[in-house]
């Protein structure tokens, strides 16, 4: 591993033994051996080649707002793109944006220019890369609705994929099936609107979120995808888990499809709540609950 840190230093900044708690919105997770910030796309490509050839595991990380990391140490490299991929370029209604940019920043920036399209995103605390990975969305709108194309690193090559080349659906895309593909940039097509109208929509949704979500506690947002027959929060309520606590984790009293970290929760606490909900919803309602949150470094 001594060699590894020397090699990574050639390609960007490296930090050692970082608590994953500091990298996730859940504030949960063990130690990451290395967190790496590549300083150029070329160096990202070189570093990936090196890691692959030397059988070192790595994980691309956005803002960690959809990840439940285990309490174990991660003996690999977490790669963060936000130090180098953080620019927004707007020409007319076309927005070219780097994967490391915060979705919320992007939404407010486009709003101030009177561009409509990202109103759904002002309460989603992820990166553009993370949103494209799982097709983040809210209020019946999602990321792929306004997407033109995505710049991807795959098989060591840079390639623009048009929206038509990517499969996407509710909280799922081709990227979930190809975890080795790295999203670098995207182009979106927005619509010219009126700043005041857009701000009104954003403000209205902000109020709704503050009233309906436990934003004062660490979480990863919705834990389960909505099944076809009803909302996931209704399932959790029907099986009696609203307010259920295991260790430091609890199905929120405010929004029962959120698990909140109320008191130094362990990943295991959250995991047990998730498994309990999956079992009871199957037994009592014949519904298969599917986690929306991603499990990382689980054994």
Active-site residue numbers? 171, 222, 292
Is 65 one of the binding residues for ligand FAD (CB under 6 A)? Answer: yes
Shortest distance in whole angstroms from residue 195 CB to ligand FAD = 23
Is 256 one of the binding residues for ligand FAD (CB under 6 A)? Answer: no
Shortest distance in whole angstroms from residue 134 CB to ligand FAD = 5
With contacts defined by CB under 6 A, name the span among 5-13, 57-65, 160-168, 275-283 that binds ligand FAD. Answer: 57-65
At 74, give phi and psi (nearest 5°).
-100, 115
Shortest distance in whole angstroms from residue 29 CB to ligand FAD = 12
Window 215-234: residues binding ligand FAD (CB under 6 A): 215, 219-221
With contacts defined by CB under 6 A, name the span among 10-18, 213-221, 247-255, 272-280 that binds ligand FAD. Answer: 213-221
> Considering beta carbons, is residue 65 or 281 the nearer one to ligand FAD?
65
Long-range contacts, stretch 106-109, CB < 8 angstroms, 24+ apart: 107/202, 108/202
Q: Two tokens at 121? A: 């995103």
Q: How far apart are CA 178 and CA 173, in angstroms?
A: 9
Shortest distance in whole angstroms from residue 286 CB to ligand FAD = 26
**Nearest one of 84, 82, 45 to 65, comparing CA atoms:** 82
**Nearest one of 223, 191, 276 to 26, comparing CA atoms:** 223
> Considering beta carbons, is residue 14 or 131 the nearer one to ligand FAD?
131
Q: How far apart are CA 81 and CA 184, in angstroms?
A: 8
Is 138 one of the binding residues for ligand FAD (CB under 6 A)? Answer: yes
Q: Two tokens at 209? A: 């979120």
8-state DSSP, 226: P
With contacts defined by CB under 6 A, name the span among 1-9, 43-51, 54-62, 161-169 that binds ligand FAD. Answer: 54-62
Shortest distance in whole angstroms from residue 190 CB to ligand FAD = 19
- Give, to the nearest 10 degrees, the angle between helix 103-112 and helix 195-212: 150
H/E element holding 185? strand 182-189
Shortest distance in whole angstroms from residue 219 CB to ligand FAD = 5
Window 78-97: residues binding ligand FAD (CB under 6 A): 81
> Considering beta carbons, is residue 60 or 232 the nearer one to ligand FAD?
60
Q: How far apart are CA 249 and CA 258, in angstroms?
A: 10
Is 14 one of the binding residues for ligand FAD (CB under 6 A)? Answer: no
> Considering beta carbons, is residue 106 or 280 the nearer one to ligand FAD?
106
CA distances from 62 to 66, 73, 79, 131, 267 (A): 9, 19, 9, 9, 19
> Considering beta carbons, is residue 138 or 278 the nearer one to ligand FAD?
138
Please give the span between the terminal C-alpha atoms of the chain, in angstroms, as a whole number: 22
Which stretches of the chain bind ligand FAD, using CB under 6 A?
25, 59-67, 81, 99, 123-127, 129-131, 133-134, 136-138, 175, 182-183, 215, 219-221, 294
């Amino acid at each position: 591993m001594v060699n590894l840190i020397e090699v990574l230093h050639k390609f960007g900044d490296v930090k050692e033994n970082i608590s994953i708690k500091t990298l996730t919105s859940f504030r949960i997770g063990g130690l990451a051996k290395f967190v790496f910030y590549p300083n150029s796309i070329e160096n990202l490509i070189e570093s990936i080649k090196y890691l692959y050839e030397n059988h070192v595991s790595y994980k691309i990380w956005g803002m960690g707002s959809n990840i439940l990391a285990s309490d174990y140490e991660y003996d690999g490299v977490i790669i963060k793109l936000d130090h180098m991929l953080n620019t927004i370029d707007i020409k007319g209604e076309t927005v070219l944006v780097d994967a490391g940019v915060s979705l919320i920043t992007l939404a407010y920036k486009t709003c101030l220019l009177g561009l409509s399209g990202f109103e759904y995103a002002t309460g989603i605390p992820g990166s553009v890369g993370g949103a494209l990975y799982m097709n983040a969305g809210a209020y019946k709108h999602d990321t792929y609705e306004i997407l033109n194309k995505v710049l991807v690193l795959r098989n060591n090559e840079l390639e623009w994929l048009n929206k038509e080349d990517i499969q996407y659906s509710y909280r799922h895309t081709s990227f979930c099936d190809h975890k080795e593909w790295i999203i670098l940039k995207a182009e979106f097509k927005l619509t010219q609107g009126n700043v005041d109208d857009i701000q009104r929509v954003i403000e209205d949704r902000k109020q709704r979120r503050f009233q309906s979500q436990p934003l004062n506690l660490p979480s990863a947002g919705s834990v389960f995808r909505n099944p076809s027959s009803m909302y996931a929060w209704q399932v959790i309520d029907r099986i009696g888990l609203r307010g259920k606590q295991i260790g430091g984790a609890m199905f929120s009293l405010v929004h029962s499809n959120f698990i909140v970290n109320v008191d130094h929760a362990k990943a295991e606490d959250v995991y047990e709540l998730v498994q309990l909900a999956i079992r009871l919803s199957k037994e009592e309602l014949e519904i298969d609950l599917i986690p929306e949150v991603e499990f990382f470094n689980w054994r």
